[in-house]
A and B are shown apart, each in its own frame.
Chain A
C-alpha cells in the first residue's frame, strides 16, 4: 500500500478567501453568520440566518470555463486553484493519467437547479434554458468543472453524501492513491446557500430559529442553549499525493492520512445515532493503527442541533472519555454541508501545524447531554501529532479520517 500525504490546501469560506482568512477569523473569534432578510418572504421558513461566502474575482475564470459553473463550482475552482498553487504542482508536468480530482457536494448548484425549474414550470419554454444550465445542475458539477478548468485528465469523480460529501471525497482519494492507481488527487467539496438548502433542514426542525435577531449567537455546538444548525457555503480542496511522489519533488507536507472509514447507520434517515458513530470512528482508528489515547485533537462534526450533538458527544465519550480535546468550528462558519469536512480538516491541519486548538465558538455552557468529553472552551496550546475529523450526514452516513504529522 502506498502512503498518502497532504501537500496543498485551498479554501473559500464564509470568513473569506484563503486559508489565512479562515484561520485569522477563527483565531480572532469572528462569526460569519448573519440575518438573511431576503428569506423572510418564504412562508414556512423559520430560520433566517446563514453564513454566506463572498463570490468575487469569478471573472478571472475564462468565460467558457465559467459558463458551466454554478456558484459552488466557482468556489470549488477558486479553492482548487489555491490548493494547486500551494502544492507547487504544475499540472502540465504531471503524467496525464495520474492526476485527477474527487469533489463532493450535496447536489449540483441549488441556485441553478431552482432557476431551471422556474423556466420549466412557469415559463414552460425549454428554448430559454441556457446551453450550460444542465452542467451547473449535475451532481458532479464541481468535480467536472474543476477538472476542465485545471486540465486534470486522471480520475474525475464526485462523492454525494450531503454533509459527509467532502470527507468521503478525501477518504476515497486516500484509498485510490493508497492503492497505487493515482499519484495526485485534488479532493474536497463545495456547497452554496439557497433557501431550499436551509429549508431542507428547516422542515425537519434541525435549523436554528431562536437567534434570527441575534445571528452571531448561533449555531451553538454542544451548548445548553443550542437550537439547531445554520447553513454556510464555500469550498475546501486539499491536494492528496502519493508520499514518494511528494518527497521526490521536495514538497511541503502538511500531514499523512493514516486512516479513513465510512458507514451507514441503517437506522434512521435524518437522525444520527451514537452506535453507528462509534462504529465509524472505531473503524477509522483501527485502519490508522492508532489507539484512542494517541488522538491529540478531535475536530467534531457538531452542527449545533439538539439531536446530532448529543449523539456525537455520546460516541466520543464512549471511545475517548475525556482524553482528547474536542471542538467544532461551526459556530464561526456555520455548517458548510458538503464542503464542511474539507474546510474544517484544513483548519484542523493548520491548528496541528501551529500547536494550538481553537475553542468551539458559542459554547458558553456545556449542555448536560453533551458532557463527559474534553470540550475546548478557550484556546489551548498543545503539541498535536494526530487528529481525527468527523462528518455525519442525512441518510445515516458517517465518515471519519485520521491524519498525523509526518515527522512523528
Chain B
C-alpha cells in the first residue's frame, strides 16, 4: 500500500463516517479543532481505520498522540511497515 492509497482511504473514512467535505481534508487539518471530532468520534475513528486498513490499533499508545490528518497518514504508514 503506497502513501497515496493511505491518504485516500483515510480521507474516505472522514468523508463517510464524519460527513466532512473533501476540500477540508488537508494534511495539517487538526482533527479536533479544524474537523470538529470529539472523544467519542475518536473511538469510531479507530474502529473505522481498523476496518479500512485491516489493522489492530485500538490499544496502540501512539493513537493518543494523533492530532492532524498527517499524523494519521504517518501512523498508518508506520503500522503497515511494521507489519501489524
Contact = CB atoms under 8 A, between A and B. Distances in A.
Interface in B1-48: 18-19, 36, 38, 40-41, 43-44, 47
Interface in B34-71: 36, 38, 40-41, 43-44, 47, 50, 58
Contact of A127 (B36, B38, B47): B47
A29 B58 CA distance: 55
Contacts, number: 21
9 contacts: A59-B19, A63-B18, A63-B19, A64-B38, A127-B47, A130-B44, A130-B47, A131-B40, A132-B44
A64 B18 CA distance: 9
Nearest to B48: A130
Nearest to A129: B47
A131 B19 contact: no
- Give the bracket for the number of chain A residues in contact with chain B: under 10
Nearest to A59: B19
Contact of B36 (A59, A64, A128): A64
Contacts of A132: 40, 44
The 10 closest A-B pairs by CB, nearest first: A131-B43, A131-B40, A63-B19, A131-B44, A130-B44, A127-B58, A127-B47, A132-B40, A64-B38, A63-B18
A224 interface: no
Interface in A46-94: 59, 63-64, 67
Contacts of B47: 127-128, 130
A130 B44 CA distance: 6
A59 B19 CA distance: 10
A131 B41 contact: yes
A59 B44 CA distance: 19
Interface string A194-233: 0000000000000000000000000000000000000000
